[in-house]
């Protein structure tokens, strides 16, 4: 039986898109993927790419470099601003959470594929005084709770790094599956206030922003298609899963999403589109962002989540106090 023809050209199809089951040749798939993925701020912006060494951030960096080439900017040279200001200035920003046997290989992949792009590497140990492994060794975090510390610290580490680099945007590799999982996770938790915030799709820096805005160019790209794109482009990445991931709550909505996708392939995209149209009542809407009373970073409460967690660590291990007794003075993560 002959192979089906590509839906967009006379060539034989090389695959069926997981998202639409559309038969496409390799060239047409790559073109369709790139056209759908690009979601960028105005040309001339400086962008810190959150580089983890995994498939998502590797594809993200590759796509942004190709976009820069289309605009006439330098690709992979660390400058990225074309004459006339139409290109972008890209930098890599990586975070070492302190997970032995996992993060070393991923950071090695980042360094190996960075080209000429500047790289800023920060660590949880450096910023907050704790690595993820040390949390477990001290008996202060078990199972999925370790992921809570890791996620909160990583988000603030990216913010700190972006401010240090002086960039306009942080680009992350969140894909369509991630967006759908987050929606399901917030629904299962009853965390209505986070639903719209997690689904935001900004392409302009909001006026008076207190944080470096995030950009998600892959938010409409299926995880399976990201893997296919990386394969066809010959990109190098690390696919090892974090050893603490099986204990995280996110695994439950992820399993549910896989079952939904097996029944209906459009479920991932449908959840992502639905999240942007949700109406949240004013009485449960997210509070405005102010400054944390301890570290000065953005927070909707008196203290940001990172400082709340650091205070909990301080109580659990008094000898590693963050300041004098009774004083909420800045500690290792709040300077």
Contacts of 309 (CB under 8 A, 6+ apart): 148, 149, 152, 153
Q: Look at residue 114 and tell me whether its pLDDT is greater than 70.
A: yes
Q: What is the pLDDT of residues 250-281, one digit of tens each?
A: 889 999 999 999 888 889 988 888 877 776 66
Measured between alpha carbons, how far is 204 from 212 in angstroms, rounded to an integer? 11
Measured between alpha carbons, how far is 60 from 56 in angstroms, rounded to an integer? 6
How many C-beta atoms surround the C-beta of residue 128 within 10 A? Answer: 24
Determine the pLDDT at residue 204. Answer: 54
Q: What is the dihedral of CA 310, 316, 321, 322, to 10 degrees?
A: 10
User: How far is the first Cα of the chain from the last one, in angstroms, to the nearest whole number?
Assistant: 66
Highest mean pLDDT among 101-105, 171-175, 329-333: 171-175
Determine the pLDDT at residue 327. Answer: 33
Residue 1 buriedness (CB in 10 A; 0-12 / 13-18 / 19+) = exposed
Q: Look at residue 57 and tell me whether its pLDDT is greater than 60.
A: yes
Determine the pLDDT at residue 78. Answer: 37
Select from 84, 48, 304 the least CA-distant residue to 164.
48
- Mean pLDDT, residues 179-189: 89
Average pLDDT, the chain: 80
Determine the pLDDT at residue 141. Answer: 54
* Bridge partners, residue 123, by sequence: 96
- Mean pLDDT, residues 166-184: 92
Determine the pLDDT at residue 228. Answer: 95
Highest mean pLDDT among 60-69, 153-162, 236-245: 153-162
pLDDT band at 139 (very low <50, low <70, confident <90, very high): low
pLDDT band at 93 (very low <50, low <70, confident <90, very high): very high
DSSP tag of 282: G
Measured between alpha carbons, how far is 80 from 73 in angstroms, rounded to an integer? 5
């Amino acid at each position: 039986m002959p192979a089906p023809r590509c839906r967009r050209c006379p060539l034989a199809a090389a695959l069926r898109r997981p998202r639409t089951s559309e038969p496409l040749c390799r060239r047409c798939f790559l073109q369709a993927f790139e056209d759908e993925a690009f979601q960028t701020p105005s040309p001339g912006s400086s962008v810190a790419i959150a580089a983890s060494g995994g498939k998502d951030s590797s594809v993200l960096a590759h796509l942004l470099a190709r976009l820069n080439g289309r605009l006439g900017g330098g690709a992979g040279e660390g400058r990225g601003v074309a004459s006339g200001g139409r290109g972008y200035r890209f930098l890599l920003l990586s975070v070492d959470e302190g997970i032995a046997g996992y993060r070393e290989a991923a950071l090695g992949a980042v360094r190996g594929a960075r080209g000429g792009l500047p790289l800023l590497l920060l660590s949880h140990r450096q910023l907050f005084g704790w690595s993820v492994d040390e949390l477990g060794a001290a008996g202060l975090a078990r199972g999925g709770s370790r992921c809570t510390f890791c996620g909160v610290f990583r988000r603030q580490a990216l913010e700190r790094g972006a401010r240090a680099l002086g960039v306009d945007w942080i680009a992350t590799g969140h894909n369509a599956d991630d967006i759908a999982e987050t929606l399901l996770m917030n629904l299962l938790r009853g965390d209505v206030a986070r639903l719209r915030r997690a689904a935001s799709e900004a392409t302009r820096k909001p006026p008076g922003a207190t944080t470096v805005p995030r950009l998600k160019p892959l938010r409409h790209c299926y995880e399976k298609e990201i893997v296919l794109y990386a394969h066809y482009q010959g990109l190098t990445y690390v696919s090892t899963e974090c050893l603490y991931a099986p204990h995280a709550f996110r695994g439950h909505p992820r399993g549910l999403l896989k079952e939904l996708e097996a029944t209906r392939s459009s479920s991932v995209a449908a959840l992502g589109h639905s999240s942007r149209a949700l109406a949240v009542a004013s009485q449960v809407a997210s509070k405005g962002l102010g400054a944390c009373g301890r570290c000065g970073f953005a927070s909707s409460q008196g203290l940001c989540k990172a400082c709340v967690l650091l205070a909990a660590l301080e109580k659990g291990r008094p000898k590693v106090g963050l300041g004098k007794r009774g004083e909420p003075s800045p500690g290792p993560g709040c300077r």
